[in-house]
Structure formats: structure tokens, C-alpha cells
Structure 1
């Protein structure tokens, strides 16, 4: 099955994380929490833990995000986790990865599995597409 929606980030809060030993690389690593609101066939909210090695000036880097979604997918209510990552050169996204975490679904989304994709329009609109099964 496939479902699509758009989302907006309503909160992005950097978190202080101390990692030992300290290793200096060409790109700083940061961690933040995010809140997202989803509209469309995918409707609800997500709490996200976001980490990235990223250069603010050039917009280049790679991120990894773990999301806890609660809402409705194509008329079915529940919650589940998904993770995604991608690399950006500042102008495009490459090497995307997306996975619904097995055994994380609740309610009418219990048993959800699958993959997906996030795309961003030139105007900054973010789209989420899920390719999923419910067993």
C-alpha cells in the first residue's frame, strides 16, 4: 500500500551532547529534537531525534533521524517508529534510506512494515511517501 502527505517542522531544538573521546572532523556533529506535523493521507505528529554531520555555510552533510509517529495512515489510527537518512550537497539529496521499524506499530497500525521516501520541493515543501504493509 502507499500513502502520501506533507509535513512541516514546528520545533527544532539543538541538544548538548558530550561524546568521549572528543574527535575533531571536518564537519561538526550535532543532535537536536524536532516536532513535525503531517497532513494528507498521512496525518498526525512526530517526535524526532535528529543527528547530523553538517556544514551550515555550504548546506552539505548527512543526517540520521528516528521518528515516533502518532496519527492516521489512510484512515487507520495508531503509532509507529521510522528512521531515515540522506546526504545533501546543499542543492540535492542523495543516498536516501528509509525504514519503518518492525514491531513498532500500535492500534490499527500494529504490524506495519515497509519503506518510504522524503522529497523536498524547490519551494521547501516536504513530502513523505510510505510504501507499507499491514499484517
Structure 2
């Protein structure tokens, strides 16, 4: 099944981490946490851990995010986890990935599996779709 929705991001805050040891790379690495609110066939909110390697001067980099979602998918209520990532050269997105974490669902979303995508339109609206199955 496919479900679609939109989302907004709130409470973006850098998080301090201490790496196992320092490595000096050409693009700095950062971690942040944020909250998201979803509307549509995907309705609810998520707590997100966002890791990026990004050069603001050039717009080049990549991100990896882990989201803990609570709400409903097509009316089925529960929680689940998903990951997503992408790379950019400043004007594009490539190597995009989106996956539901196996075994992470609860309630009516227990047993959820699937993949999806996140797209930010020219108007700035963030859209998500998930292709999923429920055991």
C-alpha cells in the first residue's frame, strides 16, 4: 500500500557529541535533533536524530536521519522507526534512501515493513510517501 502526506520541521537544535577520536575532514560533521509534524494519510509526529556532513559555503554534503514516529498510517495507530538519507552537490539530491526499521512497529503498526521517499518541492513543501505492508 502507498500512503502520502506532508510534514513540517520544528525545534531543530544542534546536539553535542564526542567522537571516539578526532578526524579532520574537508566537510564538518554535525548532529542535531528535531521534531516533525505530519498531516495527510500519515498523521502524527516524530522525534528525529539528524546527522550531516555539510559545507554551507558550497552546499555540498550528505545527511542521515533516524525518526521515531508516533501517530497513524491510513488510520492504523501506533509507532515505528524509519531512516532516510541523501547526498547533494548543492543543487540536487542523489543516493536517496528510505527504509522502515524491521521490528520497530507497535500497536496497529506492529509488523510494518517498507520503503519510501521524502521530496521538498520548489514551493518548500515537504512531502513524504511510504510504500508499506503490515504483517
**TM-score, with structure 1 as normaliser:** 0.97
Give the corresponding residue for 2:113.
Answer: 113
Structure 1 residue runs of 4 or more that deviate by more than 4 Å after TM superposition? none
What 5-or-longer segments of structure 1 have no aligned partner? none
Cα deviation, 1:1-60, whole Å, max 9, x if unaligned, reads 000001110111101112132110000000000100001100100000110100112221
Other structure's SS at 2:108 match: helix
Mapped partners of 1:37, 1:99: distance in 2? 19
RMSD: 0.8
Give the corresponding residue for 1:30.
Answer: 30
Most deviating of 13-22 and 76-85: 13-22
Give the corresponding residue for 2:131.
Answer: 131
Deviation at 1:91, TM superposition (A): 1.6
Q: How many residues end up aligned between the 2 structures?
A: 135
Mapped partners of 1:70, 1:79: distance in 2? 4
Structure 1 residue 90 corresponds to structure 2 residue 90: yes
Mapped partners of 1:84, 1:72: distance in 2? 19
What 5-or-longer segments of structure 2 have no aligned partner? none
Other structure's SS at 1:51 match: strand
TM alignment of 1:1-135, pairs within 5 A: 1-135=1-135
Cα deviation, 1:82-108, whole Å, max 9, x if unaligned, reads 001001122221100111001110111
Mapped partners of 1:98, 1:64: distance in 2? 10
